[in-house]
Amino acid sequence: AIAVLGSCNMDVVAFADRAPTLGETVAGRRFATIPGGKGANQAIAAARAGGAVRMIGAVGDDDFGRALRTVLGEAQVDAGAVRASAEPTGIAHIVVDARGGNSIVVIPGANGTVTSLTAADEAIVANSAVLLLQLELPMEAAIAGAAVARRAGTRVILTPAPVQDLPPELLANVDLLAPNEHEIAQITGIDEPREALRAMLEQVPEVVVTLGAEGCVYGARTQGGTLHVPAPKVEAVDTTAAGDTFVGVLAVALAEGRNMQEALRWASAAAALSVQRAGASTSMPKREAIDAFAAL
Ligand code: ADP
Q: Does residue 106 surpass a pLDDT of 90?
A: no
Residue 281 — very low, low, confident or very high, per pLDDT cuts 50/70/90? confident
pLDDT digits (tens, 9 = 90+) for 26-37: 999 999 998 999
pLDDT recorded at residue 280: 67
Give pLDDT, residue 191. Answer: 97
Residue 241 has pLDDT above 90, yes or no: no
- 61 a catalytic residue: no
Residue 231 Cβ contacting ligand 1 at under 6 Å:
yes
Say how many Å lie between the CA of residue 239 and the centre of ligand 1.
7
List, in order, residues 6 or more apart from 261 with CB less than 8 Å away: 227, 229
Sheet holding 28-36, edge to edge: 28-36, 9-16, 90-96, 102-107
70-91 pLDDT, tens per residue? Answer: 999 999 999 999 999 999 999 9
| Cα within 13 Å of Cα(244), Cβ side | 31
By residue count, the chain amounts to 296
- For the domain made up of 2-7+36-89+112-294, the CATH class stated in words is alpha beta
CA of 260 to the centre of ligand 1 (A): 18
In the chain, the amino acid numbered 42 is: Q
Tell me the whole-structure pTM to 2 decimals: 0.94
Q: Is the CB of 271 under 6 A from ligand 1?
A: yes
| Range 202-206 average pLDDT | 98
Ligand 1 centroid to Cα of residue 271, in Å, is 6
Choice among 78, 191, 244, 291 that is catalytic: 244
The domain limits of the chain are: 2-7+36-89+112-294
Binding site per annotation, positions for K(+): 238, 240, 274, 277, 279, 283
ipTM: 0.98
